[in-house]
Structure 1
Amino acid sequence: MTGKFFIGAAALALGAAVPGASVQGWLNTVVETDGGHRMGDPDADVQLIEFVSYTCPHCASFEKASEGILKLGYIHEGRIGVEIKHLIRDKADLVAALTTRCGPPEKFFGNHTAMMIAQDQWFAKGRAASPAQRTRWGSGTRAQQYQAMASDLGFYDLMATRGYDATELDACLADTVEADAIRDRSTRDADAYGITGTPSFVVNGATLEGVHSWPTLNARLYELAYD
């Protein structure tokens, strides 16, 4: 891997323009897929699937490390299409997934990044939750449980910074049909690709063994997209 790419990628991560490319490139091409969301050129030679969990600290670390370079160094220029799929581990993970998927598909990636970047903050709220709060998370209807957890973890405040009001998020968290579909698709996709942990990655249909961090994945992507 050449130093030229890392110099260019670092500049991109800091917000430098891509010579000869439009301001947004392929970053505005976002669609909802069967079980996930994809950003980028659907016909790019390299198609990456990220399996992530919102309650996985390694997934948050991956998002923080990869977000700038992956979007601006790969997706922007049409070299890679990236799809994010959920691997649901627990109720908090499901509530977070319902939250990030709220609204039109084009808002998902921003919601996803915001949720991952704020993970430390909402983890802290979860650890500090009172017995009464934890009781609310398992009492009443499923919609009430999800809304209570989202409120106590700070998801309503987080999504307000993304332009959502409480009524809009209430409706998304009350969608138990979507909640069941997210769980079902998570199980189906994990079985189909042999995914047992997060983050895990699939490139052009093949699950990458032993690749669970941005530096290792970046090396693979660079070989495929630039060599």
Structure 2
Amino acid sequence: MTKTVFRAVALAACAVLSMAAAPKGTAPRKGLPAASTNWAAATAVTADGSHRLGNPDAPLKLVEYVSYTCPHCAHFHKEADPVLRLTMVPKGQISVTVTNFLRNPIDLTVAMLTNCGDPKRFFVRHNAFFASQDKWLAKAEATNREQQQRWYQGDFPARMRAMASDLGFYDQTASWGLSRAQTDQCFANTAMLDKLKGQQGEVQALGLQGTPSFTLNGDLLDGHDWATVSKAITDKQAQQRAGNI
């Protein structure tokens, strides 16, 4: 996709998705399992429609603001997974929350699909789209002007159906057992669309300029890569051990 087209896409997304953020957070939990619990499968949907993985009372709480069309986000995902989701999350040391940073209509389409179906399977769908990002991004870059025009004509479900068809997303959802008709129903989910719009208000309130972006225990990190996050985690753990926070 040309720089001109991507610029137009980003501007269109910003114009449509500039909305006030819904509050993030969940009510305190009671009767949590013992510390020996494996938290790898503990998932929850937060008030603004983001998805959290891990112990809700973990001493470290990481929020990732990600764009599915961002190669740096896919690279971060590949680097961070072995440490976060496969090591620290199961032990209850950290929770990871994914919030959408929508830069363009393709981001919106993928976000609607990762939220399509059982919420407990969100991270399976999330991981799948990042794992296959190079393939469907290549298709996006190879589309012609006539195809791209379909992404901007008609209502939102029609636009998303066009993108899903052009980029092979129906094949992805079919592998999850969803028919084309069921996938199209997800594109028509106005409640989810509103939640995704709300998340963009939070992105704007934080002044985020790039993807991926992160907060750790509410503090915005000054960096967009695993090296930044890894150092912040190490520093925060050292402060907690010293009793400074």
Shorter-chain TM range is 0.7 to 0.9
Residue 58 of structure 1: aligned partner: 72
C-alpha separation in 1, matches of 2:199 and 2:136: 25
2:52 matched to 1:45? no
2:161 to 147, 150, 165: 147
Structure 2: gaps of 5 or more residues? 1-34
Identity, in percent, stands at 38
Aligned residues between the structures: 204
Change (3 A) 1:163 1:225: farther
Residue 84 of structure 1: aligned partner: 98
Root-mean-square deviation (Å): 1.9
Residue 193 of structure 2: aligned partner: 179
Q: Is the 8 A contact 1:80 1:225 kept in 2?
A: no
C-alpha separation in 1, matches of 2:163 and 2:176: 19
2:107 matched to 1:93? yes
1:169 Cα deviation after fit: 1.2
Q: Give the alignment's TM-score, normalised by structure 2.
A: 0.77
* Residue deviations 1:141-189 (CA, integer Å, cap 9, x gap): 3211111111211111122223332222111112244224312322x21
Q: Is the 8 A contact 1:21 1:77 kept in 2?
A: yes
Change (3 A) 1:225 1:75: farther
C-alpha separation in 1, matches of 2:208 and 2:145: 34
Q: Give the alignment's TM-score, normalised by structure 1.
A: 0.83
1:225 Cα deviation after fit: 4.2
Q: Which amino acid aligns with 1:80?
A: I
2:47 matched to 1:34? yes
1:161 to 175, 192, 197: 175
1:56 Cα deviation after fit: 1.1
Structure 1: gaps of 5 or more residues? 1-19
Q: Is the 8 A contact 2:221 2:228 kept in 1?
A: no
Q: Which amino acid aligns with 2:232?
A: R
